[in-house]
């Protein structure tokens, strides 16, 4: 089946051809005719399946036939993160280039005034994150009674991030007669309940997961002492033919430090996390996409959904404490049938997170060593209640024998590194303590705790201003310093998602941040 069989007009077919697509993906083949018929759709599909075009193409077709009134958008697309919202708006621009549709992107970190101007002119397509949309709505700047098509994208992620109360509030003010398209990567009971509530007799479409990342991503694990992690990373980068790479850290506050360390060592690295201002996030991502910089040191805000082709490597500077995050992180490489490499740097204490990941992916991650750093072993005493013996460089792991890395043999392909920087010899005073293993809320079929409504008002605005005041510019150099010198307020808890953390949720629910679970040694008074 070709695109011309799906009921799309010649203008759209031209745009599709310009995008270089020849055949519809399975979700497009199934969803487009249904959406064109006006039917509700419940799509179980991950990013990477072509689902964005699956809903944007028929929407453009439908919306091409009418005109928008001031402040009354005709369609609404809800996305969990600013980056995903921006990515969907790019798709609209790409596929809608032969149509005259007005689009507005309502995301935090961007001035309200600009967004209001656009809404005042009348928009056919409104793409928004829930918090910012409610802020506009609460100010009376937007009327939602003319929305004919609603898209809720990445519903399981919305659930994980605690956005469901916001979504319910938004859907509550939309017209009852509308078309709803609902997409989720998983179908946990809670997601099923929501879809039952929001959709009327939907066409259910389920597409297979993308080819398992294991097929296109070569994975390896290095176990080192926590103080040797940066050196291990440097050694891995140098030993590999790294064109560009995501380097994931568990905690936002480690990202800037690591980025500076890499920059000081001659690597072209930038940082991306949820505490940066939106213009800085957008600019950083653009520089990485355009290959102006090769290493993106980031939090899990970059782990899902971002569609950057041809990323050669992923490095996990920390083992993610949520096994599912591992799959999302390494899925940033090995896309579109290309092979990618994913390296994870673990400390002995992170054994249980490694075990959880290996159980999820159904395979051991092959261990390797680097020539520059002493290898350690995972401390299995805390895994599955079993105690295993084996000291430093003692018994090899049972799951996979360590292989020698290509470190010694491979040529240096990254920019030249200068002589050892003084920063490198400084101890890392406080390595990330692993947070406890948890399943995501969507996996457990639970809701995130609701925020109290008083915090909703101006939330985005307030936090963005706060972040502007606090956030370091991504490329600003600061000496790498001992954590003990830092003010306490900087010691942010580790959240699984930056944007969720940004929202200032009322409670931690089950996700007690790692710092609250740490054992604290009390000093004896003299």
To the nearest whole angstrom, how small is the minimum distance from the Cβ of residue 439 to ligand AMP? 24
Supply the DSSP string of 279-344, one letter for each residue: HHHHHHHHHHHTTS-SEEEE-GGGTSS---S---EEEESS--SSHHHHHHHHTTSS-TT--EEEEE
Identity of the residue, 47 or 278, whose beta carbon is nearer to ligand AMP in the bound complex: 47
Q: Which residue is nearest to ligand AMP (CB)?
A: 52
To the nearest whole angstrom, how small is the minimum distance from the Cβ of residue 447 to ligand AMP? 26
To the nearest whole angstrom, how small is the minimum distance from the Cβ of residue 127 to ligand AMP? 14
Query: 336 burial class (0-12, 13-18, 19+ CB within 10 angstroms)?
Result: exposed
Counts for the chain of helices (H) and strands (E), in that order: 21, 15
- Whether residue 11 contacts residue 60, with contact meaning beta carbons closer than 8 Å, is answered with no
To the nearest whole angstrom, how small is the minimum distance from the Cβ of residue 152 to ligand AMP? 15
To the nearest whole angstrom, how small is the minimum distance from the Cβ of residue 54 to ligand AMP? 7
- Whether residue 8 contacts residue 16, with contact meaning beta carbons closer than 8 Å, is answered with yes
Identity of the residue, 17 or 510, whose beta carbon is nearer to ligand AMP in the bound complex: 17
75-78 and 103-106: which strand pairing? unpaired
To the nearest whole angstrom, how small is the minimum distance from the Cβ of residue 336 to ligand AMP? 7
- The residue assigned the tokens 């790692």 is 514
Identity of the residue, 25 or 363, whose beta carbon is nearer to ligand AMP in the bound complex: 25
- Strands (E) in 71-170, as ranges, are 75-78, 103-106, 125-128, 149-152
Task: Please report how many Cα atoms fall inside a 13 Å half-sphere around the Cα of residue 373, on the Cβ side.
Answer: 27
Identity of the residue, 169 or 209, whose beta carbon is nearer to ligand AMP in the bound complex: 209
Strand partners, 345: 222
Identity of the residue, 185 or 223, whose beta carbon is nearer to ligand AMP in the bound complex: 185
To the nearest whole angstrom, how small is the minimum distance from the Cβ of residue 25 to ligand AMP? 5
- Strands (E) in 36-187, as ranges, are 41-44, 75-78, 103-106, 125-128, 149-152, 179-184
DSSP 72: B
To the nearest whole angstrom, how small is the minimum distance from the Cβ of residue 66 to ligand AMP? 25
Which residue ranges make up the site for ligand AMP (CB under 6 A)?
Answer: 21, 23-25, 28, 47-53, 307
Identity of the residue, 32 or 221, whose beta carbon is nearer to ligand AMP in the bound complex: 32
Identity of the residue, 256 or 340, whose beta carbon is nearer to ligand AMP in the bound complex: 340
Identity of the residue, 29 or 160, whose beta carbon is nearer to ligand AMP in the bound complex: 29
d(CA 313, CA 244): 6
Nearest to 41 by CA among 155, 206, 180, 196: 180
Identity of the residue, 212 or 421, whose beta carbon is nearer to ligand AMP in the bound complex: 212
In three-state form (DSSP H/G/I as H, E/B as E, the rest C), the secondary structure along 354-383 is HHHHHHHHCCCCCEEECCCCCCCCCCHHHE
* C-alpha distance across the termini of the chain, in Å: 80
To the nearest whole angstrom, how small is the minimum distance from the Cβ of residue 46 to ligand AMP? 7
To the nearest whole angstrom, how small is the minimum distance from the Cβ of residue 48 to ligand AMP? 5
DSSP 235: H
Identity of the residue, 21 or 112, whose beta carbon is nearer to ligand AMP in the bound complex: 21
d(CA 75, CA 526): 68
Tokens of 520: 């604290």
Tokens of 38: 């006006």
To the nearest whole angstrom, how small is the minimum distance from the Cβ of residue 309 to ligand AMP? 7
Positive/negative CA dihedral, 391, 392, 394, 398 = positive
Identity of the residue, 11 or 349, whose beta carbon is nearer to ligand AMP in the bound complex: 11
């Amino acid at each position: 089946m070709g695109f011309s069989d799906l009921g799309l007009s010649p203008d759209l077919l031209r745009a599709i051809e310009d995008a270089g697509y020849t055949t519809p993906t399975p979700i497009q083949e199934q969803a487009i005719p249904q959406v064109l018929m006006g039917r509700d759709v419940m799509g179980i599909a991950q990013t990477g399946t072509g689902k964005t075009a699956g809903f944007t193409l028929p929407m453009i077709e439908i919306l091409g036939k009418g005109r928008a009134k001031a402040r009354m958008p005709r369609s609404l697309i809800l996305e969990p993160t600013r980056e995903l919202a921006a990515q969907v708006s790019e798709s609209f621009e790409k596929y809608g280039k032969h149509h005259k549709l007005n689009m507005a992107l309502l995301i935090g970190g961007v001035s309200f005034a600009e967004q209001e101007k656009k809404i005042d002119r009348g928009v056919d397509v409104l793409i928004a994150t829930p918090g910012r949309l409610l802020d506009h709505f609460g100010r009376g700047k937007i009327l939602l009674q003319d929305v004919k098509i609603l898209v809720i994208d990445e519903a399981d992620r919305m659930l994980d991030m605690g956005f469901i109360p916001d979504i319910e509030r938004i859907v509550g003010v939309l017209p009852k007669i509308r078309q709803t398209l609902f997409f989720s990567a998983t179908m946990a009971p809670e997601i099923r309940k929501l879809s039952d509530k929001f959709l009327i007799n939907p066409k259910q479409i389920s597409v297979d997961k993308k080819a398992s990342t294991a097929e296109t991503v070569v994975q390896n694990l290095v176990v080192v002492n926590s103080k040797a992690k940066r050196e291990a990373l440097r050694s891995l980068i140098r030993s590999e033919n790294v064109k560009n790479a995501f380097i994931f850290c568990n905690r936002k506050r480690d990202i800037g430090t690591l980025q500076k360390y890499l920059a000081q060592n001659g690597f072209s690295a930038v940082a991306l996390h949820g505490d940066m201002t939106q213009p800085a996030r957008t600019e950083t991502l653009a520089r990485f996409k355009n290959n102006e910089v090769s290493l993106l040191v980031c939090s899990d805000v970059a782990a899902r959904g971002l569609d950057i082709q041809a990323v050669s490597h992923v490095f996990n500077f920390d083992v993610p404490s949520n096994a599912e995050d591992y799959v999302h992180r390494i899925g940033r490489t090995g896309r579109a049938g290309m092979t990618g490499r994913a390296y994870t740097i673990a400390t002995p204490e992170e054994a249980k997170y490694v075990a959880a990941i290996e159980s999820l992916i159904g395979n051991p991650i092959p261990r390797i060593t680097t020539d520059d750093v002493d290898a350690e072993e995972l401390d299995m005493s805390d895994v599955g209640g079993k105690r295993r013996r084996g000291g430093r460089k003692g018994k090899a792991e049972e799951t996979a024998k360590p292989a020698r890395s290509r470190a010694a043999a491979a040529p240096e392909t990254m920019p030249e590194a200068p002589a050892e920087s003084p920063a490198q010899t400084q101890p890392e005073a406080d390595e990330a303590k692993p947070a406890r293993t948890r399943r995501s809320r969507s996996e457990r079929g639970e809701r995130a705790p609701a925020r109290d409504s008083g915090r909703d008002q101006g939330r985005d605005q307030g936090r963005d201003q706060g972040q502007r005041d606090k956030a370091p510019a991504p490329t600003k150099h600061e000496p790498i310093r001992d954590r003990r010198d830092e003010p306490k307020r900087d010691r942010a808890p580790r959240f699984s998602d930056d944007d969720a953390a940004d929202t200032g949720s009322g409670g931690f629910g089950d996700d007690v941040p790692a710092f609250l679970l740490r054992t604290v040694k009390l000093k004896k008074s003299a």
